Amino acid sequence: MNVDRRASLVGFTLAALVLAVVGWLVGPGRVADAIARANPPALAAVFGVATLWLTAWGLALRTVLGGLGATVRGHVAVLVFAAATFANNVTPFGQAGGEPVAALFISRTANTEYETSLAAIASVDSLNFVPSIGLAAAGIAYFSTRLTFGSRLRVAALAVGALALAVPVLAVAGWRYRYRVERVVIRAVTPVVRAVSRVVPGRSAPGQSAVRGRVEGFFAAIERVSGNRRRLAVALGLSATGWLCLATSLWLSLVALDAAVAYPVVLVVVPVGAIAGITPLPGGLGGVETVIIALLVALGVAADTAAAAVVIHRVGTYLLPTAVGGGVAGVLGSDRLGA
């Protein structure tokens, strides 16, 4: 498993500093007291919906792989997705940093070419943006009829609006000019791959035709995924189910602390918080928590209660899949998991 340990160590150090500052501002003692008073059944429900989230997105991966001709059992797909989540959670820049490692796990499990596996996980991550924007937009619409927007909510609304405009525009442009994009990628990747190959023992530098074949295989797989509308619809449905589970996890975390909020609130807070996952922090650790706490406080939740709820929510949706995925990644790093 090729994870840049130095980059991950720097990322976790930065995340620890961010969390320390947030904890100091809120008061760690008050947060711990709030968690100690949490309702046990609600806590158990948080872990239940977190498991459902992981299952839904794992099945979305299975659906996409099926469209690429790779047959993987449902429980295996969920475990492999957990390993992919582990890779994202220990690598800076979230999915952008963890996808190459996740693709390796998928290729070993599904017996597919690496480019096909990379296209599969990239497709799933891209599809996951669509429902999040829709749910956040619905929540913002709810807010507009109920609340006067403060500065933080205004920023959240602008972020959702910008994504709602940018994602479809980029998707259409990327698809329309996909062959041009492919040529640009080939020109950019070829010298990098050849330079890396020259310094890696036992590896010979591939020719441009070999690199072109790999890149063309990746784009061909992307086309196959986008061309199967039925599987695309199923994958989007599973993605939306996963987002609802993530939102429910945060909502139940607040319920456990007797601080229930209107459900549309979490439909906005969770996707906007996920944007912090693109920061150079492993899995957005530190950044995601800060954004969610700030938004909850802006909506009237006490700072210590908001911080405690986010701790509970992230234990279920960050630590749990990281622990499970780490175990699966250890198996995949040394052997193959039967499909």
- Assess if residue 58 is contained within a domain: yes
Closest residue by Cα to residue 222 from 299, 115, 74: 115
Domain that holds residue 245: 5-178+223-334
Q: Does residue 196 sit within a domain?
A: no
What pLDDT, on the 0 to 100 scale, is given for residue 305? 93
Residue 48 falls inside a structural domain: yes
**Residue 201 placed within a domain:** no
* pTM score of the predicted model: 0.79
Six-digit token string for 33:
């007291």
The pLDDT score that the predictor gives to residue 158 is 64
Check residue 311 and give its pLDDT.
Answer: 94
How many Å separate Cα 318 from the centre of its chain? 10
Question: Regarding predicted confidence, which is higher, 223 or 121?
Answer: 121
Residue 191 domain flag: no
Domain count, the chain: 1
Does a structural domain hold residue 74?
Answer: yes
DSSP 8-state class, residue 207? P
Q: Is the pLDDT of residue 8 over 80?
A: no
Residue 205, pLDDT score: 46
**pLDDT on residue 316:** 92
Residue 69 region by backbone torsions, left for phi larger than 0, else alpha for psi between -120 and 50, else beta: left
Q: Is residue 199 domain-resident? A: no
At 250 the pLDDT is 96
The answer, yes or no, to whether residue 162 has pLDDT greater than 90, is no
pLDDT tens digits, 124-161: 887 887 888 888 777 777 766 665 555 556 666 666 66
Q: What is the pLDDT of residue 168?
A: 61
Residue 52 has pLDDT above 90, yes or no: yes
Taking residue 153's Cβ as centre, other Cβ atoms within 10 Å add up to 19
Q: Which of 57, 43, 46, 213 is nearest to 132 (CA)?
A: 57
Out of 161-170, 200-209, 307-316, 329-338, pick the least confident. Answer: 200-209
Structure tokens at 327: 């175990």
71: three-class secondary structure by DSSP = coil
Please check whether residue 215 lies inside any domain of the structure: no
